[in-house]
Each structure stands twice: as C-alpha cells, then as structure tokens.
Amino acid sequence: MASSSKRPRSGASDTPAVPDEKPAATGVREAGEAVPHVRVAVIGSGFGGLGAAVRLRRAGIADFVVLERADSVGGTWRDNSYPGCACDVPSHLYSFSFAPNADWPRSFSGQPDIRAYLEKVATVFGLRPHLRFGTEVLEARWENEETRWRITTSAGQWTADAVVSAAGPLADPQIPDLPGLSGFPGKVFHSSRWDHEFDLAGKHVAIIGTGASAAQIIPSIQPRVAKLTVFQRTPAWVLPRRDREITQLEKWLHGRLPLTAKVRRGTLFALRELQVDAFVRRPGLLRLVQQLAERHIAQGIPDPSLRAKLTPDYRIGCKRILLSNTYYPALAAANTEVVASGLREVRGSTLVAADGTEHQADAIVFGTGFHVTDMPIGARVFGVNGTSLAEEWKDGMEALRGSTVRGFPNLFFVIGPNTGLGNSSMILMIESQLNYMIDALTTLGSIGAAAMQPTARAQRQWNLELQHRMDRTVWTTGGCRSWYLDPNGRNTVLWPGSTTSFRRATRRVDLGEYELIMRAAPAAARTVQEVSA
C-alpha cells in the first residue's frame, strides 16, 4: 500500500515563534573541511524524532539535525505499508497533543492517513530544514575530552553536544534463522518490508506468525490468494474492533470548535487509564474481557477443531490483545489452513512445521516482529569507556526513567526501556519523555554544565522498583511467553503503571539522580561532580 497523496487539513496549532536560526549543519562537505557541530542530533523521524524536533524548536534550540536513514519521515508508519495496516489505538488519541488533527477519516485510522499526518507535522512546524534523509547512523561515540558525541553516518560526520535516540523499537525486522530458507525458490519478505510489486493473486502464500501485523494482513490477502497457510506458534486473544467512519459533522465540529476534539481525546484517555489497574495490579479483573474474547471466537469460528487451535491457554492481556472483526472469518475460510505449530525448516518450496507436517508455498511472509529487547542501535553507540550500549545491556536493557543510561552522557531515549504500553497510546509516553529531555537540556544550559549521566545508584534503584512492580502485572503472571520479555524472562519493554504516573515521573529532571560533567578550560582535565544523595 503506497502512502496516500491526500494530506489531512491538520488542526495543528501554528508553528511557535523561534529565534532566527541558521540552517543546521548539512554534514556534506569538501575534503579538509571541519566536521560540522550541532547542539543536538536526533536519530529517526517517526513520532519520536519529529516530536523531539518540535519541542527543541519550542524551547528555542534551533541548532539541531534529524538524521533519517530512509528518504522520508514516518518511521514505522512509513516502513509498514502492508495490506490492511492500521493503528489499534483510536485516532484522536494517537496524535500529538500540540498537533490535533480534525480530519481523521476513521476512529481507527489506516497507515496512509497516519503517515500523511506525520508529513503534515514536519511541514507545519518548520522541521524540513533540519531533516537529513539517506543518512543512516553507523556509529555514535562519546568523546571524553571534548565532552561531545561524534556521529558517523552514511552521509558524513557530525559532532553534537547531545544525542536523542528516537530510532524506535519497531524499526528493525526480526526474521528467524531457519534451515533451508536461503534455498526457497519463491518470494520471501517481512511484513514491514512489503513487496508491492509481487502479485499474490492465485499464489500459495505462507504467513509466519499470528501477531498484530498478521491479524491485519491475513483478512486483507485471503480473498486474493489460492491458498493461505498460517503458521501459528501461540494463538492470540482477539476482541471486536469498534471502527467506523468519522462523519463530516464530527470533523466540522472538531475543526471549528477545538474544545470538542479535546473532550473526545480526554474521554479516550480516561477510559484507557481506567483499564490500567487490571493490567498492572489486579489481573483477575480481566476475566470479563476474556469472556468477551471467548464469545468473539465462538461467533467467528464455527468449527470446534479450529476453535480449539485458536483459543489461547493463557490469561488475556499477557500477550498483546488484537482487535479485528475480520481475522476469524479469514482463518475459517475454505482456502485457509492454520498450522498450530511454528515453522521448523524449508526444503525447496516445501515448508516443514515443528509438528512434522509439510506444506507447499510460492511465497513466505514473515510477521515475526522486531528486535525490541535487543535494539540494534545499541551496537552502534559507544559511551565513556568505549563500551557499546549493546554490551552494557547484555544482561537486559535498563535506563533511568526510560530515558538516560549511565556511562552514556547526554544520550536521551524516546521510547526507551520499559516505556511501552499494553493498552493506550504511545504518543502519551513519547510526549512525557520529550518533557524530560527538554528539561534536561535547558537545565544543563542554566547551570553551565556540559553533560549529565545517571548515577549508578539512581539507575539501579529505579529499575529495582520497576521490576518489583512488574511482578504483579498480567505480563509476568499471565502464563505466556511474549516479545515483552528478554531472554532472561525479564520484561524490559512495558511500563507497569498508568501514563499519568509516567508523566509525573518525567515531569522534571532531578539533579540528585545525576552526575554533572562540567566544561573545563581546554588544557585542564574535566571534572565530574556527583550530586547524588
């Protein structure tokens, strides 16, 4: 599905006034020219990267670049263009609070409209002069003597006082290392790298996985293919999707009376905050929701044998809950076969399941998720001791307030460890982390420090408390294995609380949790001031 050429008439507020700015350094230079320096380098131009750029401009920080490896903005909403791609969070909650959009076409909008919204944000807020496309970050290395980051990209080098990593956890697809896959004679691709030139009509297609992407792809392609074979390791709980077209009257009201859009967003927000307690403290409350899901499968799957294959044996909420009205009918269709087993190996055009059954295919589509608990950006970032972030996180990801990591001064994460959500809009979490990042940068400027990093004590205490709270959640007590858990069985992805509690936790930087690196005279050694309790 190509991105739509239609652009919504965003209700975004006017671009805030910012100081006159010189164009951010391009990074493209002649031989012998000095490496350009910026105050902030932002990695990625999805929701996190664009949000960071808007907030930097609003804070009067105009000297920054947004480094993007692709040729346009959008992040996961640019990369994922598979048939049926849409958001499972209501549109009016899945947008920036500072950039409301009165023209969402549906209550749950599709990928083309979300991507168009992000393009609009980049234009309305004057971000395009800061964007550097085709610029993949190959390495970011902290230079102790200069108290700055040196960033090597596919388009040259920059140095920066601070780096904002908004690469996101859903950026790099994960494809299992299957024996014989390289010898498969047909087409192979991941859901996030959809090949739109390959015609699926009349083909035997295998879908590997039954997660959120597969649940959207399967109903979209099932009517077109000759045979659809779905390899399911673990079934998912599925609830009805309450999607509908947003009326012209609603759009008119939201455009002319912005208060109505705020009320709508506030209602959606409140409903999801009320659900948090069931996920993080009293999972037993989800029993009623599970009964709704059981009724949904009974209505959608008349065959008892297939229904048994598709009924999970774990508590609802333990894995991501899917929303679909068309998933079950597609699985029950005559041309669909559900293999209740993962894919073990490939022998030519024959796919061998873990249960030993064999299946023919012309094409394989992997809906197998992303590198979430082992974010690839970690192997490219090197801190004060020359150690990579991946090495630092070899026993599991952790950060202070999901935003900063000891040993990596002035590195700020957007959607960092334990900031994901299981029931609400990630934009709420992103905006909270942006508040924290801006407060950190402005605080550094006001006190004359060059950089900051968490104390060992603060980072350790935050994560001990976080994992203690995690022990009570449905994600660790529900009896399932999910992509929320790292190889050690620890949930390093989700936030075990409400978005309101995270907003409070990231409202301001507590200098008592940080060591400040002061900018010394060029010939003098730099000192580290510990301000921890």
Summary mean pLDDT of the chain: 91
CA atoms of 380 and 121, how far apart (whole Å): 29
Lowest mean pLDDT among 165-179, 339-353, 386-400: 165-179
Tell the burial category of 443 from Cβ atoms under 10 Å away from its Cβ (0-12, 13-18, 19+). Answer: middle
Q: Using pLDDT thresholds of 50, 70 and 90, give the confidence band for residue 13.
A: very low
At residue 6, the pLDDT reads 35
- 37-172+371-530: CATH topology: FAD/NAD(P)-binding domain (3.50.50)
| Two tokens, residue 418 | 């334990």
Segment holding 283, helix H or strand E = none
Q: How far is CA 481 from CA 145, 313, 476, 488, 499, in A?
A: 45, 11, 9, 11, 24
- Average pLDDT, integer, range 376-401: 96
- Is the pLDDT at 125 greater than 50? The verdict is yes
Alpha-carbon distance of 248 to 246, in angstroms, equals 7
Measured in residues, the chain has a length of 533
Tens of pLDDT, residue by residue over 455-473, are 999 999 999 999 999 999 9
User: Across residues 143-157, what is the average pLDDT?
Assistant: 96
Q: Average pLDDT, stretch 367-391?
A: 93
Q: How confident is the model at residue 24 (pLDDT cuts 50, 70, 90)?
A: low
Residue 92 has pLDDT above 50, yes or no: yes
For residue 82, what are the CA distances in angstroms to 53, 143, 193, 244, 418? 28, 41, 8, 21, 28
Residue 5 has pLDDT above 60, yes or no: no
CA pair distance 112, 114, nearest whole angstrom: 6
Q: Residues 269-289: pLDDT tens digits?
A: 999 999 999 999 888 899 999
DSSP tag of 413: E
- Please report where in the chains the tokens 């102790």 appear, as a residue: 144
pTM of full prediction above 0.85: yes
- Could you give the CA distance from residue 129 to residue 281 in angstroms, rounded to a whole number? 46
Contact present, 191 and 367 (Cβ < 8 Å) = yes
Is 50 exceeded by the pLDDT of residue 222?
A: yes
pLDDT > 70: percent of the chain = 91
Tell me the pLDDT band of 520, cut-offs 50, 70 and 90.
low
Q: Provide the phi-psi class of 316: left if phi over 0, else alpha when psi is between -120 and 50, else beta.
A: beta
Task: Using pLDDT thresholds of 50, 70 and 90, give the confidence band for residue 493.
Answer: very high
Q: What is the pLDDT of residue 371?
A: 87
Contacts of 206 (CB under 8 A, 6+ apart): 228, 229, 230, 231, 343, 351, 359, 361, 363, 364, 365
Q: Are 9 and 113 in contact (CB under 8 A)?
A: no
Q: Are 398 and 463 in contact (CB under 8 A)?
A: yes
* Reported confidence tier of residue 385, pLDDT bands at 50, 70, 90: very high
C-alpha 163/C-alpha 381 separation (Å) is: 10
Q: What is the mean pLDDT of residues 118-146?
A: 97
In 3D, which of 272, 215, 217 has the Cα closest to residue 238? 215
**Alpha helices in 35-105, H assignment, sequence order:** 47-58, 76-79
Name the segment(s) of the chain with CATH classification 3.50.50.60: 37-172+371-530, 181-242+276-366
Tokens of 77: 């909403």
The answer regarding whether domain 181-242+276-366 maps to CATH 3.50.50.60 reads yes
Query: 221: buried, middle or exposed (CB in 10 Å: 19+, 13-18, 0-12)?
Result: buried
